[in-house]
Structure 1
Amino acid sequence: MSKQNIILAIESSCDETSAAVIINGQIKSNIVSTQLIHEKYGGVVPELASRAHQQHILPVVNRAIEQAKIGKNEVEAVAFTRGPGLLGSLLVGTSFAKAFALANRIPLIEVNHMQAHVLAHFLDAPQPGFPFLCLTVSGGHTQLVLVEDHLKMKVIGETRDDAVGEAFDKAAKMLGLPYPGGPLIDKQAQMGRADAYEFPISEMPGYEFSFSGIKTALLYFLQKQVKLDADFIDENMADICASYQAALIESLLRKLKKAAKNYKIKEVAIAGGVAANSGLRKALQEMALEKGWKVYIPDFAYCTDNAAMIAMAAHYKFLKREFTAQTVSALPRYSLS
């Protein structure tokens, strides 16, 4: 093994085109190109996303390599998100990585997107100790993961229907907020009362989640109130957002608390795009004080989709020589465990 383990990582699972370079476990660059075209459609359009990836991937990779101050010929392996994600988007990243590896005669490293979200906690200090629980929350996934080692993880619970990020974004659409609406609900919630209205929390077995019911409850609630007062939403936006967000957070933390007790674990973490939510961060910190937990939350830049987390996962795979064959294909549904 050489003195410097240099890996180029590519992330293209949804609507962010990202590339990063990691050297000996240290991130040297992390370039992210966000696709703004989806805003006018109120959600990610898969075909447009894949086309944008084709346009952005080469300049993004070049910038990552340039910022890391290395040459293309110094890269020792190329990592990529194999899944889960949008097929068209994944194909762009997978194809580019395979071509880059073949042209430079270096190995490929496939990375599970959800595993990478968990390993974002090892990009900076402080880092959690094993075992720990990670609540991975995003627009496409809601999972409770038991992490026993860098590459040994087990999903002990996940959503039966919608992801919590989807519950945020669809609620924002009902409220007339632009896409992506999750951060806007969080912003409004900071000015409202969490006890203004009551929304149901689904009771699921074990560590499972469900968010379809609360979305439906919000829809019926808004329809009823708007019939009585056409300006109800505008006049009560902050309170609606605060109450709805509080119910979503309570649903998440109930399961986390239950799992921490049953597994006798005192180290907990959150990851994924919804981990940037200020209400969730605050509620988790308060619960940690009550339960005596150590809490780990990634930097905002590492919560949303980015190639640095892909690079971190690839680093640990590189150390174990876990390489991927050139015959690999994208996997839109790629199970973590």
Structure 2
Amino acid sequence: MIVLGIESSCDETGVALVEAAAGTQVPVLRAHALHSQIDMHQAYGGVVPELASRDHIQRVLPLTEQVLSDAGCALADIDVVAYTRGPGLAGALLVGAGVACALGAALSRPVLGVHHLEGHLLSPFLSSDPPQFPFIALLVSGGHTQLMRVDGVGRYELLGESIDDAAGEAFDKSAKLLGLGYPGGPALSRLAEQGDARAFKLPRPLLHSGDLDFSFAGLKTAVLTQAKKLGDDLEARKADLAAATQAAIVDVLVRKSIDALERNGMNRLVVAGGVGANKSLRAELSAACRKRGVRVHYPELHLCTDNGAMIALAGAMRLQSGIEKASEVYAFDVKPRWPLSEIS
């Protein structure tokens, strides 16, 4: 079974082909291609939804042709077309859904709408060190920070989540307060490498709350307060403040993840989402897990961001597990707000 995956939920257009061979548990990535809109949105300091949608329209078909060529496949070889149904920007999602359903109808192939976060959640299965069920998952992206217990495909239990800003938003908003460019998170992380994380004492919100929820809005406020205190000295101390900010975010993510593992008696952790590419987070989590005899799995760096491979993979794994069937009904809708708890 060959599955074409299309991702267009925000500011990346991704297309990929995975093949799920009979008798194999994990589909194999045949080819994938990705276009990032970062350069286009930089002038505005953030994603402009209308521009994002228009760019997806221009990119998705050329990327599909590229992926088919790289995989040595023809359109007729595709068995299922999977696409991101949500969550995400409504207009951007409609582009991917429309193209996917049009392709399905033209080829007389079934289509399958995939949950964007499930794609991230399962993306480490494409790595060189894929996990095994069950595991605890730390899902950290621009708009989501969640801890999940994962017992199998579609078997997800939410253990804790951010009650305000997600970790990715904390990175981005703090970067903006420091006058760094877009995208802010990677810029802050690069600057933090030059700073002293102990130079400023910043809060670790909800670290001792007794639950597995997150809150990063207060940290953003603390960064703003410290930046104002520094005044004219901010430029000279910017790297230190960036390092202290990153350390606070990473500390909370690591401590809560370890807590989730211990509460559930698990010895396997999966990290997924764009923030999962952060070097400091990977180093601190790996060290904490190694100390406790816990296996930790990450997606390959090039698959941390939004991409078509994770959508094709999630679609293929749902079909393989038998919990869902692809549809030959080509009328479609999208779900800009779609809690992961609503899928099974």
TM range (shorter): over 0.9
**What is the aligned counterpart of 1:91 among 86, 91, 94?**
94
**Superposition pairs of residues 261-276 of structure 1, within 5 angstroms:** 261-276=262-277
Instruction: Say if 2:141 and 2:274, in contact at 8 Å, map to a contact too.
Output: yes
> Within 2, Cα distance between the matches of 1:244 and 1:265?
29
> Within 2, Cα distance between the matches of 1:84 and 1:207?
23
The DSSP-based 3-state class of the residue aligned with 1:257 is: helix
**Superposition pairs of residues 41-190 of structure 1, within 5 angstroms:** 41-190=44-193
Runs of 4+ in 1 over 6 A off after TM superposition: none
Instruction: Say if 1:109 and 1:318, in contact at 8 Å, map to a contact too.
Output: no
> Within 1, Cα distance between the matches of 2:121 and 2:248?
24
Tell me what 1:215 maps to. 220
TM-score (norm 2): 0.93
Amino acid at match of 2:128: A
> Within 2, Cα distance between the matches of 1:167 and 1:249?
11
Q: Deviations over 1:232-291 (max 9, x none)?
A: 222112211111100011111221111111101110121100001001001001101222
Amino acid at match of 1:145: M
Deviates more, 1:243-252 or 1:185-194: 185-194
Amino acid at match of 1:125: S
> Within 1, Cα distance between the matches of 2:255 and 2:41?
33
Matched, 1:329 2:333: yes
- Tell me by how many angstroms 1:317 deviates: 2.0
> Within 2, Cα distance between the matches of 1:292 and 1:194?
27
Tell me what 1:15 maps to. 11
Instruction: Say if 2:258 and 2:289, in contact at 8 Å, map to a contact too.
Output: no
Tell me what 1:31 maps to. 33
The DSSP-based 3-state class of the residue aligned with 2:340 is: coil
- Tell me by how many angstroms 1:327 deviates: 3.1
TM-score (norm 1): 0.95
Superposed CA RMSD: 1.2
The DSSP-based 3-state class of the residue aligned with 2:284 is: helix
Instruction: Say if 1:7 and 1:76, in contact at 8 Å, map to a contact too.
Output: yes
- Tell me by how many angstroms 1:213 deviates: 0.6
- Tell me by how many angstroms 1:168 deviates: 0.5
Number of residue pairs matched?
A: 329
Q: Deviations over 1:87-120 (max 9, x none)?
A: 1110100111111111111111111111110111
Matched, 1:224 2:229: yes
Q: Deviations over 1:288-317 (max 9, x none)?
A: 122211111111011111111111111112
Percent of aligned pairs with the same residue? 41
The DSSP-based 3-state class of the residue aligned with 2:18 is: strand
> Within 1, Cα distance between the matches of 2:318 and 2:132?
19
Amino acid at match of 1:258: D
